[in-house]
Structure 1
């Protein structure tokens, strides 16, 4: 009887349609609504000082809800300086004050940029992704900017260089090493003789030239660029390392 009434009543039919649309919208909003866009001013409201709001942080323009880590990101927590802002640079610089809390990566090396991208990946895996911060990394439509694309390309380049360096250095065995407060440092080779050698890819990776200890056989000791440890005999297999 009620079905017949429903079918012949315009008002009832409209009610059913409205309820159906409401249910669809509820389902859509819950599962398919894209994450929201934040301005810097809006994001700053979610810095952990308001108990009624979630705690959010940005990294490379991606915004995450870190409320479940409230003990760390909330007011007084050790990582509260990240809350309510995008402080991407601080993830590798360790500068958590003033100008150090910035999303600018200017001047960072490819390995440092790669590390920040890996931090972003960590947040994707560990916390809830809730949206994008409009500004340096995303435009007002939520599209990635040239800056973000450049950052990701630099990080990828850093990963390639690290892999290349790893392959090259595997061709020349590394020294064994140890250090203690009482005895200082020591390097040694089970086969061959310890020498310091420059890491040619390090400038591209870190912006600095560094050296590593590798073991060279007698026939290789005449190569250019090999440096004997100070105070160590030419054919010594063990050398003390200055601290």
Structure 2
């Protein structure tokens, strides 16, 4: 009969520790990033090209750990251009190269700034906040700058105007519309006649004049500011566009 050797608790503990260390060495575990102030040089190191570091991005000076979205933000991912920098402008401009990858929102409209603020809110909801980027939007004490306050104020004003515009447009029924590559587009009204009408808040929101299609009853067609679609009869309920 062969005697079975008894393993002491200390021996078992040592074996488990050795196995754990081997596992860690084979699959490095990224340490969670502590919230702090970042410089642009430091942030650039966390662009996903170093597997030993998490992937970070900034938006309006707030920095987020987006490592769990590595397939999107890592090398080869569709959003890799956002990693390791604050490219706030590109979230609305769609310019992902050269000067487009900047945190400056100079010249953007209120609605565009609101979109960037909405994107920042998305990251707060979906990813881990890890601090602020020292520069345009936060000073070296982590305090918001006049630039951030200006963007947030303009975005808030845009939100108010959009809500006002929504309520005003709800008073006028919108046209139905459809478009196909073969037949082009058309608008029509189930009740009333299609007319182009100015969107009163659009200049304040975007800096540009904009019109939409609304349906008006025959007795309303004489009011000022209504435009018949080019090539469309005065009392046609369907217009080509």
TM range (shorter): 0.7 to 0.9
Corresponding residue for residue 66 of structure 2:
66
Corresponding residue for residue 26 of structure 2:
none
TM-score normalised by L of structure 2 = 0.85
Residue 190 of structure 1 deviates from its aligned partner by 1.2
Corresponding residue for residue 217 of structure 1:
217
More displaced 10-residue stretch of structure 1: 90-99 or 213-222: 213-222
Corresponding residue for residue 5 of structure 1:
none
Corresponding residue for residue 28 of structure 2:
none
Corresponding residue for residue 49 of structure 1:
49
Unaligned runs of 5+ in 2: 1-32
Unaligned runs of 5+ in 1: 1-32
In the alignment, the residues of structure 1 paired with residue 45 and residue 34 of structure 2 have an alpha-carbon distance, to the nearest angstrom, of 21
In the alignment, the residues of structure 1 paired with residue 77 and residue 184 of structure 2 have an alpha-carbon distance, to the nearest angstrom, of 37
In the alignment, the residues of structure 2 paired with residue 124 and residue 60 of structure 1 have an alpha-carbon distance, to the nearest angstrom, of 12
Corresponding residue for residue 190 of structure 1:
190
3-state DSSP of counterpart to 2:130:
strand
Corresponding residue for residue 147 of structure 1:
147
In the alignment, the residues of structure 1 paired with residue 224 and residue 39 of structure 2 have an alpha-carbon distance, to the nearest angstrom, of 56
Residue 90 of structure 1 deviates from its aligned partner by 0.1
In the alignment, the residues of structure 2 paired with residue 45 and residue 183 of structure 1 have an alpha-carbon distance, to the nearest angstrom, of 52
Q: Which has the higher helix share?
A: 1
How many pairs does the alignment contain?
209
Runs of 4+ residues deviating >6 angstroms: none
Residue 34 of structure 1 deviates from its aligned partner by 7.5
Corresponding residue for residue 205 of structure 1:
205
3-state DSSP of counterpart to 2:205:
helix
Residue 86 of structure 1 deviates from its aligned partner by 0.2
Q: Report 1:1-243 matches (<5 A).
A: 35-241=35-241
Corresponding residue for residue 22 of structure 2:
none
3-state DSSP of counterpart to 2:45:
helix
| Aligned Cα root-mean-square deviation (Å) | 1.2
Residue 204 of structure 1 deviates from its aligned partner by 1.0
Residue 166 of structure 1 deviates from its aligned partner by 0.5
